[in-house]
Chain A
Amino acid sequence: MTWFALGSALWLGILTAISPCPLATNIAAISFIGRQVGNRRGVLGSGLLYTLGRVLAYVALGTAVMAGLMASGELSRFLQKYLNEILGPVLIVLGMVLLGMIGSGASLNLAGGKIQERAAKGGVLFALPLGVLFALSFCPVSAGLFFGALIPLSLKHGSRFVLPLVYGGGTALPVIAFAFLIAFGSEYLGRAFNRLSHVEVWVRRAAGVLFIAAGLYYCLTHIYGLSFIG
C-alpha cells in the first residue's frame, strides 16, 4: 500500500463529509459533540467515540464486501433505501431526549442511568452508536464514494482494514474540527462574559433543536418524498 492510496482514502472521506448531502447529519453530529461546553474531556471523548463509530461501520462494511460475504450493490441499495427512512424518526426522538421532553422516566442499562439525564449531562457513550448510525445512513454521495471509489481502491491494494479505517477517519475529521471549534469557542465566550452556565444551557438546547430539525428534514425528504432542491 502506498502513501498515495492512504491519501486518496483520506481525501475520499473528507470529500464525503464536505459534500452537501450528509449536511443534516453532520450538523446534528457537530451539535451533539460540541454541546458539552465547559467539559473538554467530554468533547474530546465524544469526538473520538463518534470517529470510532464511523470507522467501525466502514471497516465492517468494507471487510464484508471485500470478503465476498455481501454484494456491494445489494448492500448499498438496501442501506440507502431503509436506513435513511429510519434515521428521521430516530433523530426526532433523540432531539426530544436531548431537550428533556422524553426519556426522563426510562432507564438504559448501557448508559447506566436515566436516558435523558445521561444524554443531557454528557452521554459520551452515545457518540459511538451515533457514529455507526450516521455512517450507515448512506446518501447518494457517500454511497458513490464509498462503494464506487473506496471499495475498488481497497480491492486494488488488498486492504480490507486500513483504507476503510482511514476513510472513516476522513469522514469524521471536518465534523470533529467544527465541533471542537464550537465547544471551545463557546467556552471562551462564556468565560469572557462570565456566563458559562447560560451558554452551556443554550448550546445544549440548540443541539436538541438541530436534531429535531434534521429528523424532520429526513422524514420529509426520505419518507414523504418532498424535494428541497430546485
Chain B
Amino acid sequence: MKRLQPMVKNILLAFVLVSIGFVLGKHSVRQTSTPVQPPPADAEALASSDELPVKLRVYYLHATFRCATCNTIEKMTRDLLDQQFGDALADGRIQWQEADFQENEALAKQFDVIASCVVVARMRGETVVDYKRLDEVWTMLQDVPRFNTYVGNAIRVYLPDTAEGGTP
C-alpha cells in the first residue's frame, strides 16, 4: 500500500495537469475558431423576411453537461407537444429545436438564457419576432398538469392560426 501511494499521487497530479491543459486548450481553440455570430439586426432582417410565414419554434436549450433533471424537462416538453400539439407539429406551424446554449452563444445571448430552459419563439424565417423564456419549469417538475398548463398556455399564445402563418 505504501509503495502504491507515490504512483497514485503521480498519476493524479498528471491527470490534474492534463485536465487543466485540456481546459485551456479547449477555450483557446474555441475563441480562435468560432467567433460568436451576433444575432441578426432585427428590424433589417424582419423587413427582408416580411413575406415569410410566421412559425412557432419551441426550443429546448441545455448546457453541455446534461443532468437527469434537464433531460426530464426535455422529455416532458416533447410529450406535451406530441400529445396536445401533434397537428401543429405535423403541418409545420410548430418546429422543435434542441440546442446547446454553451456552444451556441448567439442563441444564449438572444434569449438571455440563465440555465437549461424551454423557450417559445415566434419566428419569421430565421428571425425571432417575439419570444418567451419559460424559466419556471424548474419549479413544476413534480407537478405534470401544472407544467403542461404553463408550457401549453405559452405555446397557445404564440401559435399561428394556420399553416401559412396567420398571426394569432
Contact = CB atoms under 8 A, between A and B. Distances in A.
Task: Tell which of B102, B115, B135, B136 has the most Cβ of chain A within 10 Å.
Answer: B115
A76 interface: yes
Q: Is the interface of A mostly helix, strand, loop or mixed?
A: helix
A72 B109 CA distance: 11
Nearest to B134: A148
Contact of B138 (A96, A144, A225): A144
A144 B117 contact: yes
B65 A77 contact: no
Contacts of A93: 16
Interface residues of A, number: 42
A89 B115 contact: no
Contact of B139 (A20, A145, A224): A145
Interface stretch (A25-33, A42-50, A79-87, A128-136): A79-87
Contacts of A145: 138-139
B136 A148 contact: yes
B57 interface: no
B115 A80 contact: yes
Interface of B: 5, 8-9, 12-13, 15-16, 19-20, 22-23, 26, 62-71, 101-102, 108-109, 112-117, 135-139
9 contacts: A73-B114, A92-B16, A101-B9, A138-B115, A141-B69, A144-B114, A223-B19, A229-B66, A229-B67
